[in-house]
């Protein structure tokens, strides 16, 4: 131990002594340039690999999980709405509504299976998936019982439907909302991991330091040897500039694409998804109010709350995307206008029901005109949702392009820079022997 400690000052003195002679200074320059070049190569590989892995995870796991969570949420909300509408028809439910209800449950089940593969085993998201998997079966059983009683004209069917709706709204949808929130946080965290700002900053700083070191080295040699150019060092400098500009361009493009994907893709996706779920909730409130003959009960109060939330300034359905994409702005404008027409139709439904014309209220609520108005809203929101989902996918794909080249090509270029720098200084060093 003492021998090693004693040897260190000797080594440091010898290294420090190199700066007092021309050959020694050249050796120090070789060591500095090789060290900076190798460091830049390692950082290029690490930064490119980290950014590539983060971008791939964002596009291949985090965002799909967000989509699946929204699918579960909207499918459950639509199933609740469709089951209530089918119940209002009385007797044998319309085949179209039955198919839609079955499709909703199938979509929710498929999305749950896929989401389970994308979530950690011990997180809150996994707990939500387990609760939903068990709860969907219980919900389906309650709805089936409500249908069976309704076909026989038994009033108890409405109680089973209300119990099914409570399970859906009080347990299943909150769990789907929890999963959706967890997925949103994963997407937000994914942008930070994809950016890999720490590694990127170190890479750019190391390349700048290498470029400065090469320029100062050539300036030193020009003054000491009276030679204007050292061809290998000039080539090394050129390659460093190429690597700096190439890495900067690739990483700047990636950052720009990530910002576009966040601001114009996943952000609007979440907002439009919320609009779609709230609209379905309002439609379900209307049907459940009539099915339970609840008048101005809790479902009607919830309808008023949802309608106000969707219409208020800054609400999720208010058109705030016209500057991002005119076509998207038109979709959201149509959806908002259509929903207001639906709210007007709902007031007519409530007026009929409150005046004692229950049959007329049911006929208007599930009739072709009101249904067409609401389905128009849903279609516009579905189209807007798919528009932003496709935009996100396109931007994330573009953000990942070039990162593989940086991961592999960056270290190779840095190695070539080291070889050229060594060759250029080695030739000068040989002149002293």
DSSP states of 349-374 as a string? HHHHHHTT-HHHHHHHHHSHHHHHHH
User: Confidence band (pLDDT; 50, 70, 90) for 430?
Assistant: low
Q: How far is CA 51 from CA 177, 195, 267, in A?
A: 30, 6, 21
* Residues 60-86, mean pLDDT to the nearest whole number: 87
Q: What is the mean pLDDT of residues 30-42?
A: 92
* Cα 141 from Cα 3, distance rounded (Å): 81
pLDDT of 37 higher than 90: yes
What is the distance of C-alpha 39 from the center of its chain?
A: 33
- Please tell me the distance from the alpha carbon of residue 64 to that of residue 115, in angstroms, as a whole number: 8
d(CA 244, CA 267): 32
> Greater confidence, 120 or 261?
261
Question: pLDDT at position 6, please?
Answer: 45
* 48 — pLDDT class (breaks 50, 70, 90): very high
- The answer to whether 84 and 161 are in contact (CB under 8 A) is yes
The Cβ of residue 148 has, within 10 Å, a number of other Cβ atoms equal to 12
Per-residue pLDDT tens over the stretch 282-339:
988 888 888 777 677 888 899 999 988 888 766 666 667 777 788 888 888 889 899 9
pLDDT of res. 5 = 45
Greatest alpha-carbon span in the chain: 111
Within 90-172, where are the H helices? 95-118, 124-151, 156-167
| pTM of the predicted model as reported, rounded to 2 decimal places | 0.76
| Residue 77 pLDDT | 86
Please tell me which residue, 9 or 329, carries the higher pLDDT value: 329
> Of 416 and 24, which is predicted with more confidence?
416
Q: What is the DSSP string of 44-62?
A: HHHHHHHHHHHHHHIIIII
pLDDT of residue 116 exceeding 70: yes
pLDDT digit string, tens, across residues 186-237: 888 888 888 888 999 999 999 999 999 999 988 888 777 666 678 899 999 9
Q: How many CA atoms lie within 13 A of 85 on its CB side?
A: 27
Q: DSSP character for 228?
A: S
Give, as one character, the DSSP assignment of residue 123.
S
Confidence check: pLDDT of 20 > 90? no
């Amino acid at each position: 131990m003492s021998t090693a400690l004693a040897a260190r000052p000797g080594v440091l003195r010898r290294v420090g002594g190199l700066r007092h002679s021309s050959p020694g200074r050249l050796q120090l320059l070789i060591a500095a340039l090789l060290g900076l070049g190798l460091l830049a190569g390692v950082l290029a590989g690490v930064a490119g690999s980290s950014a590539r892995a983060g971008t791939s995870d964002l596009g291949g796991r985090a965002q799909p999980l967000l989509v699946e969570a929204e699918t579960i949420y909207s499918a459950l909300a639509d199933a609740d709405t469709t089951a209530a509408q089918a119940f209002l028809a009385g007797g044998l439910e319309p085949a179209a509504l039955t198919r839609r209800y079955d499709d909703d449950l199938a979509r929710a089940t498929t999305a749950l299976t896929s989401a389970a593969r994308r979530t950690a085993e011990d997180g809150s998201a996994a707990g939500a998936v387990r609760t939903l998997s068990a709860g969907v079966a219980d919900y389906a059983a309650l709805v089936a019982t409500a249908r069976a009683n309704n076909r026989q004209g038994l009033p108890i069917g409405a109680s089973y439907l209300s119990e099914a709706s409570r399970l859906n709204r009080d347990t299943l949808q909150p769990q789907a909302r929890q999963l959706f929130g967890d997925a949103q946080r994963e997407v937000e965290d994914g942008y930070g991991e994809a950016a890999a700002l720490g590694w990127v900053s170190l890479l750019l700083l190391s390349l700048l330091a290498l470029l400065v070191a090469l320029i100062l080295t050539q300036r030193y040699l020009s003054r000491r040897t009276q030679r204007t150019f050292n061809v290998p060092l000039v080539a090394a400098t050129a390659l460093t500039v190429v690597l700096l500009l190439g890495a900067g361009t690739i990483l700047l493009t990636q950052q720009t694409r990530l910002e576009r994907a966040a601001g114009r893709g996943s952000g609007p996706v979440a907002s439009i998804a919320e609009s779609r779920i709230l609209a379905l909730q309002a439609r379900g409130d209307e049907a459940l109010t009539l099915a339970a003959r609840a008048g101005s009960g809790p479902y009607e109060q919830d309808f008023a709350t949802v309608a106000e939330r969707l219409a208020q300034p800054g609400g999720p359905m208010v058109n705030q995307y016209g500057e991002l994409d005119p076509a998207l702005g038109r979709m959201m404008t149509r959806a908002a206008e259509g929903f207001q027409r639906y709210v007007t139709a709902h007031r007519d439904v409530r007026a009929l029901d409150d005046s004692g014309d229950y049959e007329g209220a049911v006929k208007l609520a599930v009739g072709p005109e009101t249904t067409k108005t609401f389905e128009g809203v849903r279609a516009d929101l579905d189209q807007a949702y798919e528009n932003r989902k496709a935009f996100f996918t396109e931007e994330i794909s573009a953000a990942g392009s070039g990162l593989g080249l940086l991961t592999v090509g960056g270290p190779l270029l840095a190695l070539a820079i080291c070889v050229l720098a060594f060759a250029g200084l080695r030739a000068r060093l040989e002149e002293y022997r």
